[in-house]
Amino acid sequence: MKKVLVIGTGSIAQKHINILNSLNYSVYVYSETNGKFFKNNSKVYRLTNLDKLNNFEFTILANKTSDHLKILKILTNQNMHIYCEKPIYYKKFNYQEIRDKIKKNKIVFHNGYQLRNDTKIRYIQQKLKKLKIKSFQVSVGHDFNQWRKAGVHKNSYFSDTKKGGGVIFELVHEINLINLLFGKIKKISTIKSNSKNFSCEDLAVSIIETENKIVGSLYQDMISNVFFRNITIVTNKFFFKIDMANNLIIENNKIKKFNDINKQLDLLKRNILLFKNRINKKDYSLDDYNTALFDLDICIKMHNSK
């Protein structure tokens, strides 16, 4: 049975573990802090250090964002193929050093942007190829206090901007989708609301212009009492509303429903299989790494916006 390594024991790491178990992998997990996770957990083996990793097919990097960089350095030094959960980091770092190691050591680097593989996103990409986009509105909302099963506390990394948390970094999926569908963000101005209970921004509203001269807006909300994830697009011929939560697209006045289950686990599994396929094909493209850096740069601009 092939061995894989998961870094981290949080909610997203546990989803990866379940998927890898279903793919018949022998799953090893490394965590510096969460010793309780390994008690009575027969699904995984505990790894106590990262000294020798050559026996693993690949690594899933799914620990807290503020620890990504130090682990990335270890993994690239040992020629490990890396599936990196988003965002790659929360502040500027020596991008070139990591990029050079990925290139030199022939490492497959893959992003955890599973929404790019959603059937509705693929459908709208094809539709937009023949249309002129006038504007867009992207919005996403979660209930912050129900985000994790264990609840939210002041030491949670996702509730502390200095650890890579907060609405801008946590909901980076939307930044990535804007760059994918409308062209790379060229200008962005953001108004933010700071949480009263935690050390992070919990709401952000941005006005955006892309390299394709398309103007739009982005609304990110961590204090919504309902979950929503929508993309509204105005073109020269069609009005589209992509409703990710309800698995449908409105084209003008017609509703197109999608049969895909659209569960997070399904999208994660699809993305892992794409990653495995890249490893098999020896696809060492730096596109995913460069995309992660571009998205990070936008998040930093949003966070610093005044």
Domain count, the chain: 2
Residue 232: domain span: 119-259
> In which element (H, E) is residue 167 found?
helix 167-170
Q: Are residues 130 and 104 in the same domain?
A: no
Q: Are residues 102 and 144 in the same domain?
A: no
Q: Are residues 146 and 227 in the same domain?
A: yes
Of 37, 32, 36, 60, nearest to 48 by C-alpha is: 32
* Cα separation, 229 vs 211, whole angstroms: 24
Q: What is the mean pLDDT of residues 22-34?
A: 91
- The CATH number for 246's domain is 3.30.360.10
- The CATH number for 94's domain is 3.40.50.720
Residue partners of 126: CB distance under 8 A and separation at least 6:
none
DSSP code at position 286 = S
| C-alpha torsion sign, points 91, 220, 191, 223 | negative
Per the rule left: phi > 0, alpha: psi between -120 and 50, beta: everything else, 5 is beta
Q: What is the pLDDT of residues 118-148, one digit of tens each?
A: 999 999 999 999 999 999 999 999 876 676 5
Written as one string, the DSSP assignment of 141-154 is EEEGGGSSTT---T
Q: Are residues 26 and 132 in the same domain?
A: no
Written as one string, the DSSP assignment of 88-143 is S-SS---HHHHHHHHHHTT--EEE--GGGG-HHHHHHHHHHTTS-EEEEEEEEEEE
Q: Are residues 99 and 211 in the same domain?
A: no
Q: Are residues 56 and 168 in the same domain?
A: no
% of the chain exceeding 70 in pLDDT:
93
Q: Are residues 78 and 197 in the same domain?
A: no
**Mean pLDDT for the chain?**
92
Residue 36: pLDDT band by 50, 70, 90 thresholds? confident
Q: Are residues 92 and 216 in the same domain?
A: no
Q: Is there a domain that residue 275 lies in?
A: no
Looking at the DSSP bridge assignments, the partners of residue 232 are 137, 241
* Cα separation, 85 vs 292, whole angstroms: 10
Pairing mode, strands 185-194 and 201-210: antiparallel
Q: What is the pLDDT of residues 255-290, one digit of tens each?
A: 999 987 657 889 999 999 999 999 999 999 999 999
Q: What is the pLDDT of residues 186-227, one digit of tens each?
A: 999 999 998 877 778 899 999 999 999 999 999 999 989 899
Q: Residue 261's pLDDT is what?
A: 61
- Tell which of 111, 129, 151 closes a domain: 111
